[in-house]
Amino acid sequence: MAEPNYNFDMERVPQHIAMIMDGNGRWATERHQPRSYGHQAGVDTVRRITSECVRLGVKYLTLYTFSTENWSRPADEISALMGLVLSSLEDEIFMKNNVRFRVIGDRQRLPEAVQQKLRETEEHTAANSAMTMVVALSYSARWEITQAVKDIINEHENQAEQPSHGPLTTADITEDLISKHMQTSFMPDPDLLIRTGGELRISNYLLWQIAYSELYFCDTYWPDFNEADLHKAIESYQNRQRRFGKTEAQVEEESK
């Protein structure tokens, strides 16, 4: 079979794509089904989009799966979601695609069985190298930033026995230090953030890390999002000029 003809440059595929997978509930409601039916369908989309990202050479795919705020949903929906996390983490998917699995978020709030499955999957896939799939579970950006600040203070206090130890000063606090204490310290910031489901908001996702990400919103509900939709998002990304505060002329000069 001939290679599909993309309208984008395979050499400039984003290294890190962050995804807000929204619209499962409305997709199910439109079909007169319970919301959990939509979440189940969403898992199939995760599989397809993961393999497509691997094929395209994306290095990091960060999936917003369950937010801190989602703990306020009805108990039956939460337990259906936790059940899906457990049942969908089959090693086969990661091994077949050579994908490393990582979790960000407040995992201590998750049921013990889920925590254990997450640990096992992270361990089993640690040596996989084609792409890293990062699942944000019980995650919110404000929680993460608050946690980072606490960690910085705790680490400093734990070093108190050392002779050179002085109080924490403003000079110690740098952007680099804060980034190192984020849950995402092992990966670069997202190049492209995609939100499906039609809402034009960030919903407490990766606030620190998306400072210079390109944003892409589409109306498609997550269960319907497919490879062609992903290609459209990448095409849109490639048609933009990332300036990072510089002028258009400066960026053009640099790219020569």
Q: Where in the sequence numbering do the catalytic residues fall? A: 22, 70
Joined together, the tokens standing for residue 29 give 């409601």
Identify which of residues 20 and 234 has a Cβ nearer to Mg ion in the complex: 20
Of these partners, Mg ion, ligand IPE, none, which one is at the site of residue 67 (CB under 5 to 8 Å by kind)?
ligand IPE
14 binds ligand IPE (CB under 6 A): no
Span of 22-30, 43-51, 116-124, 236-244 interacting with ligand IPE by CB under 6 A:
22-30
Does residue 105 belong to the site contacting ligand IPE (CB under 6 A)? no
Looking at 197, 210, 214, 234, which residue binds ligand IPE (CB under 6 A)? 197
Residue 105 contact, options ligand IPE, Mg ion, none, Cβ 5-8 Å cut-off depending on partner type: none
Residue 67 binds ligand IPE, judged by CB under 6 A: yes
- CA 7 remoteness from chain centre: 25
For ligand IPE, which residue of 15, 51, 70, 236 counts as binding (CB under 6 A)? 70
37 binds ligand IPE (CB under 6 A): no
Task: Supply the minimum distance, in Å, between the C-beta of residue 125 and ligand IPE.
Answer: 22
Write the single-letter amino acid at 253: E
Closest contact distance (angstroms) between CB of 136 and ligand IPE is 7
Sites for Mg ion among residues 15-54 (CB under 5 A) = 22
- Cβ proximity to ligand IPE, 131 vs 194, nearer residue: 194
- Residues making contact with Mg ion (CB under 5 A): 22
Residues near ligand IPE (CB under 6 A) are: 20-26, 64-67, 69-70, 81, 197, 199, 201, 203
